[in-house]
Chain A
Amino acid sequence: MAKTLNAGYTRYHPKWHRVRVPLFWWVRSASYIKFIGRELTSLFVAYAAGLLLVQAWVLGQGAAAHASFLNWLSHPAVVAWHVVLLATLLFHTVTWLNLTPQALVLRIGRWRVPKGVVWAGHYAAWLVLSLVIVWLFAGVT
């Protein structure tokens, strides 16, 4: 099969010019900036998950440890930072959920589920899960 390659093809031709990609290649377009934002915010998601794990561990250490942890959480700087965190998490979630209709083609028999339904379904699931978690935690505290 390799025979059908163009005669004389090599990946790097000594005379052809390859443009250097700048480090900040992504600032040149709004869609790229949004893309990098979406990707970078996954770091914040990781932080949030880590925070949850830390909280669980602290709980295990006893009521006193947990009380001081909650104290730290209510420090104004931390609260401010966590508001920013919430914004990044929301951004991450919304950008990803909005992509689901393009990625997911669902069929029931031969009928294709409309894109709007896929989109709405994901948001609905998010809302329901969030409510369930809030209800669980409302019971705990």
Chain B
Amino acid sequence: MHTVNHDVLLIGGGGAGLRAAIAVAEANSELSVAVASKVYPMRSHTVSAEGGAAAVIRPGDSLDEHAYDTISGGDWLCDQDAVELFVREAPEEMLRLEHWGCPWSRKPDGTIATRPFGGMKTERTWFAADKTGFHMLHTLFQTTLKYPPISRYDEWFVTRLLVEDGRCHGAVAVELATGEVHAILARAVIMCAGGGGKIYPFTTNANIKTGDGMALAYRAGAPLKDMEFVQYHPTGLPFTGILITEAARAEGGWLVNKDGYRYLQDYDLGTPEPRPVLRSMELGPRDRLSQAFVGELKKGRTVETRHGHVVYLDVRRLGQRVIDEKIPFVRELCLKYEKIDPVKELIPVRPVVHYMMGGIHTDLKGATPIPGLFAAGEVACVSINGANRLGSNSLTELLVFGARAGEAAAHHAAEAPAPPRSVLAQGLQEEARLQKQFLGKRGGRERMADLRKEMQDTMEASAGLYRDGATLKAGTEKVRELKERFRDVAVEDPSLTFNTELQTVLELENLLDVAESVLHSALARRESRGAHQRTDFPERDDQDYLAHSLAYATAEVPRIDYLPVTITRWPAGERVYGRAVSDTHKPVGGAAAPEKGGE
């Protein structure tokens, strides 16, 4: 087993990982930084994000408005101190990315253009046509290439964190191309491995979103926070699950049912107007829009197609010029994957699993409860997204918390002692485990694809848009059974060279852990809030549940604990969309934070 030594190790090379790597290099150029990712960084799922990234920039907008939109969007489960610093640091981070070359779309005078987005009172979403994530990722990746201290370990799959005496000292990774197992020792580790949408059968997520980072930290003893909150994006293409960005609605698209009726008006989301109205109708928050679909389904007003029920997204009224300028990728995707032209036809859409609000519990600096282990991005939960994330907040989150975690890790690494050599014993154990449990194994009777499908179907049935205690309980039992059966999984490929079967089985192991934490967290939360809706507990319960759930791994089922939400200036109030908000949203306690005007 080879050993590599660095000061800071990033696990994951997406938006958060790359931003954090740059932050470490800029905080302290003496530190050597390693970025280990199971794919080449340009393949990270950040690349698929389309709509935009939010930051206050227009005159007339304010940090408090952005904060309030985020907090109410999250159904008050957001930690308000985290949200306040997020909205405050967002504009600078976004400008920094612009200075690094990100091709933001512009107004005719050359300044940054913004577009409206779901749940936001004012236009504050910066965008690069409708391929914002793609441009952000490529800008970040290309910028990392100019920092000599950053070394990359592409297609190295991390299978275990090295934790000794409660401190994190690095990780063990399989170099996929050669099958060699390496130990990467580091004084600080930043987990940026993304979310785990692949626990569900129908998701916008890429094949690689298998919750590896969450599972690794969870098994190492870090708690996973708010795992029950899984976001269904209201508009995904049927069959493929490909995302049709919220920007299509922001530019004026309408959601209609089989009768051509804009059904959102029946779900307390406002009254239909010809032009998009912020925080109303199609620009409401994603959880409410997805839940409205279920309402339509029950009323029999959706359209049945061979790939399930759908409603329609109507962007015909935008006209070809606007579509080609503002949402060209949407048009390309519809033409290719649905064989329809949105300029002339309706786009069939349905809610699709998209994002996990939950993740590894971190503080405001991205530090997890395990000293030496940090986390940022979708894998982490600070929490700024609470019970439901607003669109365009997560791309900004990558930058703000990627930078914070990077800086914090840099400071930690400068002071932390070198990893003890004794930790290498764990590396050897892991190498032996991989050989015994997978590569050298013969005669397994469970097919990987079958286990995965059963898990995904269970998640959809038990932890979908609407949940109840009985189905959740059944789901937890099913996952327990699947984990048992996993021990008998068949691995036919003994090769060391680019063994994707080994990779897939390790990913399945991670998926099962993540699925289990979602189900148990959902079962324990006896209320409905944001994206977690329970038919047996349909009301929000601020008395008992204005708190984050924490799932800890044990030898048996996960142990669920609770951590109160940090409230600063916005006491828990009613989430209102599409109608006048009463003054309950004004922050409590004196003058608001300094307003940020536009540039």
Contacts and interface: CB of A to CB of B under 8 A. Distances in A.
Direct contact of A and B (CB under 8 A): yes
Interface in B133-181: 144-154, 175
B581 interface: no
A8 B145 CA distance: 17
Interface in A93-117: none
B4 interface: yes
Contacts of A4: 144-145, 147-148, 150-152
Nearest to A13: B177
Contacts of A6: 152-154
A6 to B, nearest CB: 5
A5 B145 CA distance: 9
A8 B182 CA distance: 12
B584 interface: no
Interface in B1-32: 4
A1 B147 CA distance: 7
Q: SS class of chain A's interface: helix, strand, loop or mixed?
A: loop
A20 interface: no
A21 interface: no
Interface in B467-507: 497
A15 interface: yes
Interface in A1-42: 1-8, 15
Contacts of A3: 148-151
A120 B152 CA distance: 50
A7 B150 contact: no
A3 B146 CA distance: 10
B9 to A, nearest CB: 13
Contacts of A7: 4, 151-153
A95 to B, nearest CB: 31
A8 B150 CA distance: 15
Most chain B Cβ neighbours within 10 Å, of A3, A5, A6, A7? A7
Most chain B Cβ neighbours within 10 Å, of A2, A3, A15? A3
Contacts of B149: 3
Contacts of B154: 6
Contacts of A5: 152
Contacts of B4: 7
Interface in B104-158: 144-154
Contacts of B497: 15
Interface in B494-526: 497
A1 B146 CA distance: 7
A71 B149 CA distance: 75
A6 B176 CA distance: 13
A4 B497 CA distance: 24
Contacts of B147: 4
B84 to A, nearest CB: 36
A4 B13 CA distance: 13
Nearest to B147: A4
Contacts of B153: 6-7
Contacts of B152: 4-7
A101 B198 CA distance: 46
A111 B331 CA distance: 28
Contacts of A1: 145-146, 148
Contacts of A8: 175
B581 to A, nearest CB: 46
Nearest to A6: B154
A17 B314 CA distance: 50
Interface in A30-63: none
B307 to A, nearest CB: 37
A107 B154 CA distance: 42
Contacts of B148: 1-4
B145 to A, nearest CB: 6
A7 B176 CA distance: 13
Nearest to A15: B497
Contacts of B150: 3-4
A3 B4 CA distance: 14
A5 B152 CA distance: 7
B180 to A, nearest CB: 9
Contacts of B151: 3-4, 7
A15 B150 CA distance: 28
Nearest to A1: B148
A2 B149 CA distance: 10
A46 B153 CA distance: 51
Contacts of B146: 1
A35 to B, nearest CB: 29
Contacts of A15: 497
A58 to B, nearest CB: 60
A36 to B, nearest CB: 33
A65 to B, nearest CB: 65
A6 B151 CA distance: 7
A8 B2 CA distance: 12
A2 B145 CA distance: 9
A111 B22 CA distance: 39
A3 to B, nearest CB: 5
B570 to A, nearest CB: 44
A5 to B, nearest CB: 8
B364 to A, nearest CB: 30
A1 B152 CA distance: 12
A4 B144 CA distance: 9
A131 to B, nearest CB: 43
Most chain B Cβ neighbours within 10 Å, of A1, A5, A8, A15? A8
A99 B150 CA distance: 42
11 contacts: A1-B145, A3-B148, A3-B149, A4-B144, A4-B148, A4-B150, A4-B151, A4-B152, A6-B152, A7-B151, A7-B153
Interface of A: 1-8, 15
Interface of B: 4, 144-154, 175, 497
Closest 7 CB pairs of A and B: A3-B148, A7-B153, A6-B154, A4-B145, A1-B148, A3-B151, A4-B150
Given A1-B148, A4-B150, 12 more contacts: A1-B145, A1-B146, A2-B148, A3-B149, A4-B151, A5-B152, A6-B153, A6-B154, A7-B4, A7-B151, A8-B175, A15-B497
